[in-house]
Amino acid sequence: MYQAFLIKYAEIGLKGNNRSYFEDCLVKQIRYGLKSAGDGYQVRKEPGRIFVECPEGYDYDDTVEAISRVFGVAEYCPVDICKSTEWDDILEACRSYVERNIKDKNVTFKVFCKRGDKNYPKESPEICAAVGEHLLRCFPEMKVDVHDPQIKFNVEVRGRLYIYTDSYAGPGGMPVGCNGKAMLLLSGGIDSPVAGYMIAKRGVYIDATYFHAPPYTSERALQKVIDLARIISRYTGPIHLNVVNFTEIQMAIYDRCPHDELTILMRRYMMRIAEKIGLQYDCLALVTGESIGQVASQTMHSLNATNNVCTLPVYRPLIAFDKEDIVQISKKIGTYETSIQPYEDCCTIYVAKHPVTKPLVKAMEKSERILADDIDEMIERAITTRQVIRIMPE
Ligand code: ATP
Ligand code: MG
C-alpha cells in the first residue's frame, strides 16, 4: 500500500510569479475532491510538487477516483515514503519498494533522483548510481537500460525519501476557481452538461440555470437536470442550480408571435434571463451547449440572433464539435446515460414544423415588440419566483 500520491501539474508550472496562486487553488481543489474518499488526507505543497498523504487504511480506488477528477492534475504517482534519509535506510527502502511493487523482476530500469534538500551529503548522480547498484545486487534479474527503461525508478530526497515508479494521466486543465465564474444554461440534453464540464476544466466556477415549463414539462424532466448537475458537480464543485418557471413567457410567445420563430424567440428570452441571474452571482460569461448547424436554432444566423441580446460574452465550447465527439465526452464524464432519458425539455413541446433557419435580428426585434407591454414584468416574475437548488457532489 502506498502512503501518498505525488501530484504533477502542467500549465500551472508556466505561470511565473502567479504560480503560487494557482498552486494554492489546486491544493484547495484536491482537498475538496478528497472529501468523497474520506477524512485524514494531508495535502502539502513543496516546490514544484504537491503531495497527498493518505490516512491509515485509506481506500486506494476511491482516492484515485477523487484525484483523477480534479482539474489541474496533469499526472499522479502513487509513492512510498521513508521517514529516515539515513543512507542505509534509503537503500533498504528502495529494495523493499521493488520487492513489494514490482512483481516481475525481469525488467529493465533506470534510477532518477531529485534532491529537494540541497544540503543532503550525496549529490543526485551519486544517489542514482548507488541505488542502481544496490538494486542490481538485490535483484540479479533486473537490468539497467539508460535509454529506454521499462521502469523509471524515481527517488526524491526532501527531508524524507519518496519513491515512485508509476505515473497516471490526470484530467489536465486548470483548478476550478482560479478563473472566475460563469452561468451555464443547463438543459436535460447531451450537450450542455459537456459544455459546463469543458468550461470548468479551464478553471471556471459554474452556476447553472434551467428553464422549465410546468405542466408541459414534468417533474421528472427537472429531476433529470438535477441529476446531471450533480454528476458534473463532481468535477466542477458545488453548483447553484436556478430553476426558472418559463411557462408564462413561453405561452405568451406561442399565443402572440409567429410560430416559426418560437424557438429563437424563446432562446433570446432564456439568454436575457440567464444573464440577469448570472450577474447576481458575479458571473463573467454565459455558457451554452450550442454547436454550429446542429439544429435550426443553431445555424450561424440563429446563433447571431440569440447572441445579440446579451452583453456578457457567451462561451460555446462545443461550437465546432460534431455530435459524435460530444457523445464521447458525455460518456467519459458519466452524463450520457442520464441525458438520453426520454423526458421532454421545454423546447421540444412547442417546436414548429418549419422553424426559421435564417432569422434576422431585425425580424426578431419586430416580433418581440408584440410582447412589449408586459414582457418585462414576466421576466421579472420569472427571475424572482425561481427556485435555487444547491447541488453538492456526492
Ligand atoms: P442540449 O443537449 O444541451 O439540450 P440541444 O442540442 O438540445 O442542447 P438546444 O435545445 O437547441 O440544443 O439548446 C441549445 C442550448 O441552449 C443548450 O445546450 C443549453 O445550453 C441551452 N438550453 C436549451 N434549452 C434549455 C433549457 N430548457 N434550460 C436551460 N438551457 C437550455
Ligand atoms: Mg436541449
Residue 293's pLDDT band, with cuts at 50, 70 and 90, is: confident
Answer yes or no: is 176 within a domain.
no
Q: Which of 108-117, 182-191, 252-261, 351-360 has the lowest mean pLDDT?
A: 351-360
CATH of the domain at 256: 3.40.50.620
Residue 372 and residue 268 share a domain: yes
Residue 98 and residue 242 share a domain: no
CATH of the domain at 35: 3.30.2130.30
Q: Measure CA of the first residue to CA of the last residue in the chain; give whole Å.
A: 26
Name the percent of the chain lying above pLDDT 70: 98
pLDDT exceeds 60 at position 349? no
Residue 195 and residue 136 share a domain: no
Residue 108 and residue 81 share a domain: yes
- In ligand 1, the atom with minimum distance to the C-alpha of 188 is 4
The residues placing their C-beta within 5 Å of ligand 2, an ion, are 187, 189
d(CA 1, CA 89): 19
Pocket of ligand 1 contains residue 205 by CB under 6 Å: no
**Of the residues 169, 195, 220, which one is the last residue of a structural domain?**
169
CA 322 to centroid of chain Cα atoms:
20
Note the pLDDT tens digit of each residue in 214-254.
998 899 999 999 999 999 999 999 999 999 999 999 999 99
Residue pair 194/328 in contact (Cβ under 8 Å)? The answer is no
Residue 29's pLDDT band, with cuts at 50, 70 and 90, is: very high
Pocket of ligand 1 contains residue 34 by CB under 6 Å: no
Which residue range(s) make up the domain with 140? 4-169
Residue 228 and residue 274 share a domain: yes
Answer yes or no: is 155 within a domain.
yes
Residue 215 and residue 129 share a domain: no
Residue 244 and residue 202 share a domain: yes
Give ∠ CA 97-99-103 in degrees, rounded to 5. 110
Buried-exposed string 150-177: b where 16+ CB fall within 10 A, e elsewhere: ebebbbbbbeebbbbbeeeebbebbbbb
d(CA 281, CA 86): 54
Q: How many domains does the chain have?
A: 2
Residue 94 and residue 127 share a domain: yes
Residue 188 and residue 145 share a domain: no
**Of the residues 136, 169, 202, which one is the last residue of a structural domain?**
169
From the CA of 190, how far away is ligand 1's center (Å)? 9
